[in-house]
Amino acid sequence: MKVVFKKEDLAYATSVVHHLVLPQSPLPILGNILVRASGKTATFIASDMESCVKCEVAAETATKGETTIPAATFAEIVRELPDASITISLEDKLVKISCGTNNYSLTTMPTEDFPRWPDVEPLLSFEMPQKTFKQVINKTLFAVPQKDPRRVLLGVFMDIKDKVLKCVATDGKKLGFIQVELERCEGGTTASAIMPQKILSELQKSLRDEGTLRITLGQRQIAFDLHNVLYVSNKIEGTYPNYEMVIPKDFVHQITLTKEVFIQGIRRAAIISEEKNNSILIKFRPNEALISAMTFDIGSFEGSVPVSYDGSGFDIAFNYKYLLDVLRVIDTKEAIMKVKSPSAPVIFNETNGQNALYLVMPIKLADLETRNTEE
């Protein structure tokens, strides 16, 4: 195998695939990427056994073939080489990388040891703008827990019925939901999948504001095709919880708040918030939110921010981290906060009419008072 790349193409391919590699895998081959060259293109492939990514870039192939290359070392080499043509060749079971006067020789591993992923046989597939699906990921992925014994929560649930896509994620304390209408679906009208957090995080880096994305749901796998980049992942098996049951349908209080101003008020209180539960107390009064926090051995904070509210006063407590997680994914300058009671889940909506909502579980005021008494 011998193939020549422009540095920008090679840098793009390595940046897409090498993050999926498992450097500490019990299978040494998973620390490598597979490079396959033929004609005017080369394909770079990485896998962690649960998912894989393929990236195709332009190349000039002198001798077609394939080889494996240590992923982390290769990515660092490409990053440091000068901006010139880079030649990769396979000679005497060594991968040769040459650029001007710079020459590397890397050990390789047998290509037959590299895992091969079959094509996903579609149950349902559809296309949508990359920009739109990037928003879907942004508005749900923040609510996926990093660890949870309930494996079904370690991803974003996608549900498609009658050309309507619904995506939701929750860790039990916060929730993100978005609904998008699809132009058409192929192969079926109903399908669902729990998409793993890792593959969505990688996909998020590749999505652009232009172009389309094709999503294919198979029996056990899901594929995301960006034309020159393909992500394939096993679904998370299991039944996702009935998230609709925890979303209140009616509310007593509705507040319109300026997002950045409200965030600033929360961050001021967070400095004094006790570390165990990160609790802050918010007292809503007409056109004002009084925010306070207290830690027994540090001190206390009281401050206020303006809000648009003309109802009766009420108090509510939150873990400020969950509150900030939600507010940071809201795109609009203002947000609408809907409260049924100080102990019921609180809903946040954007003001642009988008079919998205965010939920935060408050801290029960009785629990907060007990903690303060104990301290």
- Long-range contacts of range 7-10, CB-CB < 8 Å, 24 or more positions apart? 7/78, 7/81, 7/82, 7/83, 7/84, 7/85, 7/86, 7/99, 8/83, 9/57, 9/58, 9/59, 10/57, 10/78, 10/86
Q: Is 263 left (phi over 0), alpha (psi -120 to 50) or beta?
A: alpha
Q: Are strands 102-107 and 94-99 parallel, antiparallel or unpaired?
A: antiparallel
Summarize pLDDT for 346-370 with one digit per residue, the tens: 999 999 877 999 999 999 887 676 5
The alpha carbon of 36 is separated from its chain's Cα centroid by a whole number of angstroms, namely: 29
Residue type, 131: K
Summarize pLDDT for 16-70 with one digit per residue, the tens: 998 898 777 788 999 999 999 999 999 999 999 999 999 999 999 999 999 999 9
Q: Please, are residues 128 and 212 in contact by the beta-carbon 8 Å criterion?
A: yes
Q: Please, are residues 27 and 47 in contact by the beta-carbon 8 Å criterion?
A: no
Q: Residue 226 corresponds to which tokens in the numbers above?
A: 């960006």
- pLDDT (mean) for 278-291: 97
- Residue 198 is inside which H or E element, if any? helix 197-206
Average pLDDT value over all residues in the chain: 94
Q: Residue 138 corresponds to which tokens in the numbers above?
A: 């942004």
Q: List domains and CATH numbers for the chain.
A: 2-113 (3.10.150.10), 124-244 (3.10.150.10), 247-374 (3.10.150.10)
- pLDDT (mean) for 258-275: 96
The yes-or-no verdict on residue 258 having pLDDT over 70 is yes
Q: Please, are residues 304 and 291 in contact by the beta-carbon 8 Å criterion?
A: yes
Summarize pLDDT for 90-133 with one digit per residue, the tens: 988 899 999 999 999 999 999 999 998 888 989 999 999 999 99
Taking residue 260's Cβ as centre, other Cβ atoms within 10 Å add up to 11
Question: Residue with structure tokens 């939901």?
Answer: 177
Query: What does the pLDDT read at residue 371?
Result: 54
Taking the C-alpha atoms of residue 332 and residue 348, their distance in angstroms, rounded to an integer, is: 12
The yes-or-no verdict on residue 373 having pLDDT over 70 is no
Query: What does the pLDDT read at residue 283?
Result: 98
Q: Please, are residues 133 and 178 in contact by the beta-carbon 8 Å criterion?
A: no
The yes-or-no verdict on residue 375 having pLDDT over 60 is no
Summarize pLDDT for 189-245 with one digit per residue, the tens: 899 999 999 999 999 999 999 999 999 999 999 999 999 999 999 999 999 999 999
- According to DSSP, the residues that pair with 3 across neighbouring strands are 61, 88
Q: Please, are residues 334 and 351 in contact by the beta-carbon 8 Å criterion?
A: yes
Q: Residue 50 corresponds to which tokens in the numbers above?
A: 């649960």
Taking the C-alpha atoms of residue 320 and residue 369, their distance in angstroms, rounded to an integer, is: 17
Query: What does the pLDDT read at residue 1?
Result: 94
Taking the C-alpha atoms of residue 342 and residue 317, their distance in angstroms, rounded to an integer, is: 8
Query: What does the pLDDT read at residue 374?
Result: 53
Taking the C-alpha atoms of residue 263 and residue 347, their distance in angstroms, rounded to an integer, is: 16
Query: What does the pLDDT read at residue 189?
Result: 86
Query: What does the pLDDT read at residue 274?
Result: 87
Alpha helices, DSSP H, located in the chain? 7-17, 71-80, 130-138, 197-206, 259-270, 320-329, 365-374
Query: What does the pLDDT read at residue 12?
Result: 96
**36 contacts: CB under 8 Å, gap ≥ 6:** 42, 43, 45, 65, 66
Summarize pLDDT for 294-321 with one digit per residue, the tens: 998 899 999 999 999 999 999 999 999 9
Of 59, 48, 50, 49, whose CA–CA distance to 13 is shortest?
Answer: 59
Give the three-class secondary structure for 122: coil
Calculate helix-pair angle for 130-138, 197-206, nearest 10 degrees.
140
Taking the C-alpha atoms of residue 322 and residue 43, their distance in angstroms, rounded to an integer, is: 41
